[in-house]
Structure 1
């Protein structure tokens, strides 16, 4: 277990946030039954029927020879069979030479994804909470299945991805990790929102905060975020991190989250197999 970080000013926080995100991406790939490639230079997964492919982590540094980076990027591209790939690159790795190597191999920058941080002892609790909301932690296969179905609806996955996830038999294999919590919010008994908490690298990472379209703007995302934050604080953690979508940024700022840094999202588009 990593030492729990206590201060937002800790210089180790950037690396911890990057590591937590990598762990979260790895976990998501396993939930989605991706085909993993775990090489010394990099880890990534491919889900061929959906195009949901992600680089999880690399062993690169800013001093890694471009020839080594180039070789790994070609290996990643080959594994997709000409399909897409996405890589979220944190500040510890970004450099002009890496960007040039990515561009030379057919990758392009898509967007900057904000990473936000929060002191768990300075959470701003809203005055009102959603009426009729019940939040359950997934402790059995039925609730986990409902969690996943709500994820599909909440993120409005395209039909190939939705069909693929709906066909997976998850069983109970993701219910026994003591550092990962899956929350599902129910309104009038129907699943409406989700969140995930991952305790890793000495901090609390929040992921997959989503609400089904028909139930948005009712405070459900805020409530699902708070459920994870309270659990993290109860576990003795001091700092929470998350990567925020444009829709989510105002929600998180109202809770006290601050901008920390950005991940650069790079995409390898279909047909770029080397």
Structure 2
């Protein structure tokens, strides 16, 4: 994070939260700058989360869509619409044949006091040393995020090669008896701590592991001087995040372009 960036103090400051989200995904292969009015990222991997459009503003949606369709041709991708996009984008996309495929609450919490849920028996939480390879980290989140065996090696390589100029990324892995079973990551950028890749192996769910990994990521954000933590919640994670003190402050809506699964 640049030293000149102001630290957000309110969970209702949405623009830094959305800038953090853009920084996270642009690290996977951004073809535009963080502050671009048409922010597109392209990892080149065949995974719908790893390519997409993050916002469009102050330009015709038709032009932006035509450009994105060309840039992302042949890949699965999503168009994110959040509070930093122009009004009317969803309507324009639907008129072009895009389909709404879901939405996620944007949730935020203050970091004045980080929750400390009890650690499940046998759980240890470690920071990932990317120089040693993030294979365990990717394997631990693969089932939660639909990373199949055909993509595993490419995602590991991509994780190891993410851009580092958009913020400080700290990855965490949770282990039970030495086996990597859960993950979380925190990106310190744009004055907030953004949480990503929170997932637990299905065989280990229901033990409080996800809550422990989320709290550990929150603690990293506080350690780096942040006052606000932000994330986009799945339906499965929503009750966990609410229990940890997160509240919904907005939402992002996801659209799929025509002929893309």
In structure 1, what is the Cα distance between the partners aligned to 2:14 and 2:123?
Answer: 35
Structure 1 position 213 matched with structure 2 position 210: no
1:104-143 → structure 2 map (5 Å cutoff)? 104-126=95-117, 128-142=118-132
Displacement, 1:140? 4.3
1:144-155 → structure 2 map (5 Å cutoff)? 144-155=134-145
Displacement, 1:193? 0.6
Tell me the TM-score normalized by structure 2.
0.85
Distance 1:233 1:46, change over 3 A: closer
In structure 2, what is the Cα distance between the partners aligned to 1:232 and 1:102?
Answer: 36
Residue 195 of structure 1: which of 166, 176, 184 is its match?
184
Distance 1:59 1:224, change over 3 A: same
In structure 2, what is the Cα distance between the partners aligned to 1:176 and 1:84?
Answer: 26
Distance 1:175 1:130, change over 3 A: farther
Partner of 1:76: 68
What value does the CA root-mean-square deviation take over the aligned residues?
2.8
Equivalent residues of 2:56, 2:86 under 8 A apart: no
Distance 1:193 1:169, change over 3 A: same
Kindly name which structure, 1 or 2, has the bigger radius of gyration based on alpha carbons: 1
Equivalent residues of 2:52, 2:72 under 8 A apart: no
Distance 1:164 1:231, change over 3 A: closer
Segments of structure 2 that go 5 or more residues without pairing to the other structure are: none
Equivalent residues of 1:114, 1:243 under 8 A apart: yes
Segments of structure 1 that go 5 or more residues without pairing to the other structure are: 31-35
Partner of 1:16: 16
1:1-274 → structure 2 map (5 Å cutoff)? 1=2, 2-9=5-12, 13-27=13-27, 29-30=28-29, 36-38=30-32, 42-47=38-43, 50-52=46-48, 53-58=50-55, 60-61=57-58, 64=59, 66=60, 69-96=61-88, 98-126=89-117, 128-142=118-132, 144-162=134-152, 164-165=154-155, 168=157, 179-270=168-259
> Which portions of structure 1, spanning 4 or more consecutive aligned residues, are displaced by more than 6 angstroms?
172-178
Tell me the TM-score normalized by structure 1.
0.82
